[in-house]
Structure 1
Amino acid sequence: MRVLIIDDEPLARARLAALLGECEGTEVIGSVGDGEAALGSLGELQPDVLLLDINMPGLSGTAVAQRLAGRTRPQVIFCTAYEAHALKAFELGAVDYLLKPVRLERLRDALQRAQRRLADAPREPTAYLHGRMRGEQVRIALAEVICLLADEKYVVVQHRRGELLIEESLRQLEEAYPEQLIRLHRNCLVPPARLLGVKTLADGRVLARLDGTELSPEISRRNLPAVRKLLRLG
């Protein structure tokens, strides 16, 4: 199993990595210190399991889990020093709740539960967008998309490795992937996991902060309530 560690304490991350080294069949694919970094790395790293702290600055562990609720992958195992959030964790579908300091035996048990849950659920098919890049037909996984921008008769797909032109309209994409894209403006869609926050300019315009890019697309008044609700919930 591919495991991503999320904890704001470097020593805690190091300890978990060491424990995972003693768990057969697991691979530590990354280690990050906050929830925003975790969400931003999911498309690239494709983890099977998150070892997720709860009390972190910025986006909390429960907020990260709420964003991921209902997905087959990744499965969430909370690792925390506090018992108070256990009920909420299981309401969000966490596979287990480990108290720090995490013991090797409990970690192995939790990973086995995650493995069984993953085995019982079919892997979600990867969605791809197809278009042209430098004159060649290419495809890009939707999980790698940062944002989609309307540009005359094409849509420009901004992703981690560059840009891609596709012929589908934003409306067609929005209807095809209603759970995987949210509209910011009539000319812009983004994957919800890319949304880090919003910033309001002096002239009243509201811009989105997106993971993986310096681009800050404008959010229309019509779509702002849905964006704020998404950020508040997750």
Structure 2
Amino acid sequence: MKPLKTLLVDDEYSAIEGLVIRLAAFSQISIIGHAASVDEAMVLISQSAPDLIFLDIEMPGKSGFELIKQLQPENCPAIIFVTAFHQYAVKAFEVRALDYLLKPVKQERLAEAIARVTANLAQQPNKADILEVADIVQQAGTARPADTTTYRIEQEKLLIQDGHHPAQLIPYRDILWIDAAGDYMCVHTNAETFVMRARMKSLINEVLPDGFIRIHKSTIVNLQHVAKLEPLINSEYKLILVNNKALKVSRTYSKQLKENLSA
């Protein structure tokens, strides 16, 4: 396969520099330019027709999602989002990006993302077809999970698997909390955020072991990582995790939480 013509889009030049350094280790990547805005990127895309774009989301003026809206589906390059924010992962699925990397980007995750892109290009020579590939999400997500995504308990780990890629196993002890976004769940560890297709009710009732408890209609917490509980008004509480992450506890679940913490 020829080197992938690659465009970097980020309004922070330091982020561009860091990515250039990391990408130098991959012979299959040929950087053709970089842009600090959507408008600059569109000019370079029209001139160079890149195969792959590493795309930031939050940028002045227009976001990375707005860039994708301007691209023709039949000519759309492969997209790897690179962002500091995990909460956009679900939306990234909807535009069918091939991967979703959290800053600061780890070399190992970068290698996985590039391997995914090259594998999809090899299997699907037509770029339009690449957009139909459904991939499992890793670190705050990769690509849109297929409807056949399954999850289960295996060797004290949460298994995320979609049949297209190697399974991602996350030790339960490493999971701090899980929050919901529609039919998707963001699974947070100290190091990474993973996204899986699941419903909270099924996850808490059928999958997660004892020690995981619901504290809000959209949040599950691992009791092993709870540092303290602070009262708020109206019988609500603020739960502080060992990493200082603060989570809201609703009245509906506060009694059960207090009982479990005092047990």
TM-score (norm 1): 0.50
Question: How many residues get paired?
Answer: 125
1:5 and 1:48 map into 2 onto residues whose CA distance is: 11
- Of the three residues 80, 92, 112, the one matched with 1:77 is 80
Tell me which residue corresponds to 1:4: 7
Tell me which residue corresponds to 2:163: none
Question: What is the 5 A alignment of 1:25-174?
Answer: 25-68=28-71, 70-71=73-74, 73-123=76-126
CA RMSD between the two structures: 1.8
Instruction: Indicate the structure whose relative CO is greater, using CA pairs within 8 Å and at least 6 residues apart.
Output: 1
2:91 and 2:71 map into 1 onto residues whose CA distance is: 14
Q: Report Cα offsets for 1:170-192 as digits up to 9, x if no partner.
A: xxxxxxxxxxxxxxxxxxxxxxx
8 Å contact from structure 1 (residues 79, 99) kept in 2:
yes
Cα drift, residue 95 of structure 1: 0.2
Cα drift, residue 30 of structure 1: 0.4
Q: SS at 2:58's partner residue?
A: coil
Query: In the superposition, relative to structure 1, how do residues 71 and 101 fare at CA in structure 2: closer, same or farther (>3 Å)?
Result: farther
1:9 and 1:95 map into 2 onto residues whose CA distance is: 22
Cα drift, residue 73 of structure 1: 4.0
Q: Report Cα offsets for 1:102-121 as digits up to 9, x if no partner.
A: 01111111111111222232
Cα drift, residue 65 of structure 1: 1.9
Q: Which amino acid is 2:95 matched to? A: L
Q: Report Cα offsets for 1:42-94 as digits up to 9, x if no partner.
A: 12112110000000011210111233363354100000000010000111010
Tell me which residue corresponds to 1:138: none
8 Å contact from structure 1 (residues 6, 52) kept in 2:
yes
8 Å contact from structure 1 (residues 72, 118) kept in 2:
no
1:69 and 1:112 map into 2 onto residues whose CA distance is: 24
Tell me which residue corresponds to 2:19: 16
8 Å contact from structure 2 (residues 7, 53) kept in 1:
yes
2:10 and 2:74 map into 1 onto residues whose CA distance is: 21
8 Å contact from structure 2 (residues 77, 127) kept in 1:
no
1:67 and 1:118 map into 2 onto residues whose CA distance is: 22
Q: Which amino acid is 1:41 matched to? A: L
8 Å contact from structure 1 (residues 3, 26) kept in 2:
yes
Query: In the superposition, relative to structure 1, how do residues 69 and 91 fare at CA in structure 2: closer, same or farther (>3 Å)?
Result: farther
TM-score (norm 2): 0.45
Q: Which amino acid is 1:44 matched to? A: Q
2:127 and 2:10 map into 1 onto residues whose CA distance is: 27
Q: SS at 1:76's partner residue?
A: strand
Q: Which amino acid is 1:57 matched to? A: P
8 Å contact from structure 2 (residues 121, 127) kept in 1:
no
Cα drift, residue 124 of structure 1: 6.2
Percent of pairs with identical residues: 38
Between structure 1 and structure 2, the one with the greater Rg is 2
Q: SS at 2:57's partner residue?
A: coil
8 Å contact from structure 2 (residues 38, 67) kept in 1:
yes
